[in-house]
Amino acid sequence: MTMKPIQVGLLGIGTVGSGVFNVLQRNQDEISRRAGRGIEIAMVADLDVERAKSVVGSKVQVVNDARAVIANPDIDIVIELIGGYGVAKALVLEAIAAGKHVVTANKALLAVHGTEIFAAASAKGVMVAFEAAVAGGIPIIKALREGLTANRIQWIAGIINGTTNFILSEMRDKGLDFDVVLKEAQRLGYAEADPTFDIEGVDAAHKATIMSAIAFGIPVQFDKAYVEGITKLGAADIKYAEQLGYRIKLLGITKRAEKGIELRVHPSLVPSKRLIANVEGAMNAVVVQGDAVGTTLYYGKGAGSEPTASAVIADLVDIARLHTADPEHRVPHLAFQPHTLTDAMGALPVLPMSEVVTSYYLRLRVADQAGVLAKVTGLLAEAGVSIDAVLQREADEVGGEGSTQTDLIILTHDTREGTMDAVIAQMQALPTVLAPITRIRKEELN
């Protein structure tokens, strides 16, 4: 006997919602063969009822109130595609309380309130699936939760925000500064009118927070993440990095260290020969290092209507398959059994940035006179920071003919960030250092 199709309610039918509807329609035979039963969108809530009707046609009930979907006893699964922390949080918790499974693409909500949401879902015996919340169409959550479950994950580094990667790719290709490229990205629709969440690194940090919880068995702790965006990067640094054999990428990094977990988002120099250094435009990529498997790489579209829909529908299929399974035997939301997460928190704190160990790129605008390099390298030596490479530009290359200033570029070996902060302050105080020092972290990813 075939089971009746599982009934789905959709909250929000914008870019992703319409993609979900269209892909589900187009591939429904294949999807039901995989799921073991049909999956039907029976009800849609959107404030713009007319637009919603133009997408789903007359067979699907369209309402302007999300709570009507949650209250409908025939709906088994609610897909939340509204976004943000406000109303979305209330609706997700209400859907759980009503005994509905939830599929969401809302990384902000899970990174900040995930602990509360997963606890509510566990108590109610329902699933919250969120493959679409990280890296769009790339199945990175499934890879971490299931495919790599045998591994002790050592680190994850990802290009997980398409807007910033597009901007950095353009800056590098055209030699332009950030502000110019941002305006162009907005004109082309790669950046929103208010791009703050993207360019300041917040969106990437939401995603890195979720991956870190799944990789290391800790609760989501967005408030502990170190977040730095790309707004201060100049074309000069991209060019110098290139000359030294590196590309600059905004990376979301989470790493198992001796004293805890690193969780940070910031621009990073990555060796040009690494695959991830060559991810251009709005594409996403995530590198995962596991003890048994070594390095694995996941690459694809991090946003867009149908790529994101691909992830949402994969979650729907999982729920359709497991709907009748005993809740104790499903894959846990954050990969580890929930009662083990709190223990891990004590053992694996998220480290403050001052405790993070990495290497650095420094650019100093200095007076073009004898002894400056010796003074700067002397301060680094005193602090126990060893130097990997030094690049000294000719003054006329930097400031034109007759210039009395030059750029000094230094790459360091691994050192503690707190140590680096102190030595940068000492170098900054030198009378021959003429502008704020640029510091960009360097990740070899080997």
- Indicate if the pLDDT at residue 292 is higher than 80: yes
**Between 342 and 2, residue with greater pLDDT:** 342
Query: pLDDT digits over 63-92, tens only?
Result: 999 999 999 999 999 999 998 888 999 999
Please report which confidence band the pLDDT of residue 399 belongs to, taking 50, 70 and 90 as the band edges: low
Give the pLDDT of residue 332: 83
Q: How far apart are CA 165 and CA 169, in angstroms?
A: 6
Question: Among 274, 248, 249, 264, which residue's Cα sits nearest to residue 162?
Answer: 249
> 335, 217 in Cβ contact below 8 A?
yes
Whole-Å CA distances, 218 to 34, 91, 212, 319:
32, 25, 7, 24
- Indicate if the pLDDT at residue 347 is higher than 80: no
Q: Please, what's the b/e burial string for 71-96 (b: 16 or more CB within 10 A of its CB; e: otherwise)?
A: ebeebbbbbbbbbeeeebbebbbebb
Q: Report strand pairing: 415-416 vs 6-11.
A: unpaired
- Indicate if the pLDDT at residue 20 is higher than 90: yes
Give the pLDDT of residue 398: 65
- 201 CB contacts (<8 Å, ≥6 apart)? 161, 164, 227, 228, 229, 230, 250, 265, 266
Structural domains in the chain plus CATH codes: 6-139+306-344 (3.40.50.720), 140-301+345-353 (3.30.360.10), 357-442 (3.30.70.260)
- What is this structure's pTM? 0.93
- Indicate if the pLDDT at residue 1 is higher than 70: no
Residue 161 structure tokens: 């925000």
> 7, 316 in Cβ contact below 8 A?
no
278 φ/ψ angles, rounded to the nearest 5 degrees: -100, 15
Q: How far apart are CA 225 and CA 265, in angstroms?
A: 8
Helical H segments across 348-394, by residue range: 372-382
Helical H segments across 217-350, by residue range: 235-243, 305-322, 339-347
Give the pLDDT of residue 331: 82
Give 283's strand partners.
Answer: 301
Give the pLDDT of residue 395: 64
Query: pLDDT digits over 37-52, tens only?
Result: 999 999 999 999 999 9
Helical H segments across 294-371, by residue range: 305-322, 339-347
Range with lowest mean pLDDT among 72-86, 319-333, 398-412: 319-333
Q: What average pLDDT score do residues 282-291 get?
A: 97
Could you list the residues known to form a binding site, using ranges: 11-18, 107, 192
Q: How far apart are CA 138 and CA 297, in angstroms?
A: 11
Please report which confidence band the pLDDT of residue 2 belongs to, taking 50, 70 and 90 as the band edges: low
Query: pLDDT digits over 84-142, tens only?
Result: 888 999 999 999 999 999 999 999 999 999 999 999 999 999 999 999 999 999 999 99
- Indicate if the pLDDT at residue 346 is higher than 90: no
Give the pLDDT of residue 227: 98
Could you list the residues known to form a binding site for NADPH, using ranges: 107
Give the pLDDT of residue 396: 64
Active site residues: 207
Q: Kindly state the helix (H) or strand (E) to which residue 20 belongs, with its residue range.
A: helix 15-26
Percent of the chain with pLDDT over 90: 85
Q: How far apart are CA 2 and CA 55, in angstroms?
A: 29
Could you list the residues known to form a binding site for NADP(+), using ranges: 11-18
Give 6's strand partners.
Answer: 39
